[in-house]
Amino acid sequence: MYNLFMERAIRLSIDNVQSGSGGPFGAVVVKEGAIIGEASNQVTSTNDPTAHAEILAIRGACSKLAVFELEGCEIYSSCEPCPMCLGAIYWARLTRVYFANAAADAAKIGFDDSLIYRELAQPISQRKIPMIQMMREEALAAFRSWENKPDKIVY
């Protein structure tokens, strides 16, 4: 059965290339043997750099289940998730990730995430994009408010 889910993710990636809707990536979120979210990369068709297949499949699954965590769900991706998608997978608390193409395969055709991984390992002061902290004390007011909120939904 697992092959069916990966076959679907791969089919989404191939169809996406052929339709011209975006890059060669597809993803499927599965819960208890049923697809609850699926998507293909829509970066170029939506002018949204975050519209990766995994992100869109996670959004669809969360919407369908009316939840913000996907514990007990698995994701099948046509390619090893990029750093952004990997972060989303952890935030969504997916149980398992299956992938077909490796990050090195994606890099060979122009989808190279190695810069991002290197940048994340750098101290903030040494990153290529300047990162300047400001107004921390003022911003801490929101954190104090959250910390003291008795009816917050913890995630």
Catalytic annotation present for 147 = no
Determine the Cα–Cα distance for residues 16 and 63; give it in Å rounded to an integer: 22
User: Exposed/middle/buried for 122, CB within 10 Å: 0-12, 13-18, 19+?
Assistant: exposed
User: Catalytic residue among 7, 38, 54, 147, which?
Assistant: 54
| Residues involved in catalysis | 54
